[in-house]
């Protein structure tokens, strides 16, 4: 199973890249995870945000394969405990479909992206900066896989 984190945003602070790379490096050999960055849609005070949202949505959808299991990260989605996430990940791994985890732009997802999603997942009810979402997502994937492997990283 291939896992892709497809994220809107290309200019992340150095600490974001370092933290994401650390967790993705820990997963190598166990789970193939790739980060794909998309430039955000153009936003201007004279234009509605809807135009940028639609542009981002078209480009996100274009990155998806027909059979991908698509997860849209959104604060209004379903929440998991770390143990439940590991069980969900085990199910995805058994299923074998490629997994696409989507992080939208600053104004959220286009309706078509939410409709295409097999799951809308919330990391927290808090509104999180997109840079931090990348790090939390990478860490939670590592934690979930560690639980499955019986690694002592997760201590309940």
Helix H or strand E encompassing 49 = helix 49-62
User: Which residue from 27, 3, 37 is spatially nearest to 130, judged by alpha carbons?
Assistant: 37
Rounded to an integer, what distance in angstroms lies between the CA atom of residue 101 and that of residue 138? 10
111 has pLDDT over 80: yes
Please state whether the predicted TM-score (pTM) of the whole model is above 0.85.
Answer: yes
| Whole-number Cα distances in Å, 132 to 18, 29, 124, 126 | 12, 25, 12, 12
Q: How confident is the model at residue 66 (pLDDT cuts 50, 70, 90)?
A: very high
- Contact call for residues 72 and 104 (beta carbons, < 8 A): yes
The mean pLDDT value of the chain amounts to 94
User: Would you tell me how many other CB atoms lie within 10 Å of the CB of residue 138?
Assistant: 24
Q: How confident is the model at residue 156 (pLDDT cuts 50, 70, 90)?
A: low
Q: What integer pLDDT is reported at residue 33 of this predicted model?
A: 95
Domains along the sequence of the chain with CATH? 2-149 (3.40.1280.10)
- What percentage of residues in the chain have a pLDDT greater than 70? 99
The answer for residues whose C-beta is within 8 angstroms of residue 8's C-beta and 6 or more apart is 37, 38, 39, 40, 41, 56, 60, 103, 104, 105, 130
């Amino acid at each position: 199973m291939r896992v892709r984190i497809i994220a809107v945003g290309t200019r992340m602070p150095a600490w974001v890249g370092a933290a994401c790379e650390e967790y993705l490096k820990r997963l190598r050999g166990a789970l193939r995870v790739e980060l794909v960055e998309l430039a955000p849609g153009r936003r201007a005070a004279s234009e509605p945000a809807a135009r940028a949202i639609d542009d981002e949505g078209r480009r996100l959808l274009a990155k998806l394969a027909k059979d991908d299991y698509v997860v849209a990260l959104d604060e209004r989605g379903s929440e998991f405990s770390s143990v439940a996430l590991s069980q969900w990940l085990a199910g995805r791994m058994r299923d074998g479909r490629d997994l696409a985890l989507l992080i939208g732009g600053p104004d959220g997802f286009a309706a078509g992206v939410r409709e295409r999603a097999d799951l809308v997942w919330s990391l927290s009810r808090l509104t999180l900066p997109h840079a931090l979402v990348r790090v939390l997502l990478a860490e939670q994937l590592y934690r979930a896989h560690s639980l499955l492997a019986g690694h002592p990283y997760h201590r309940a």
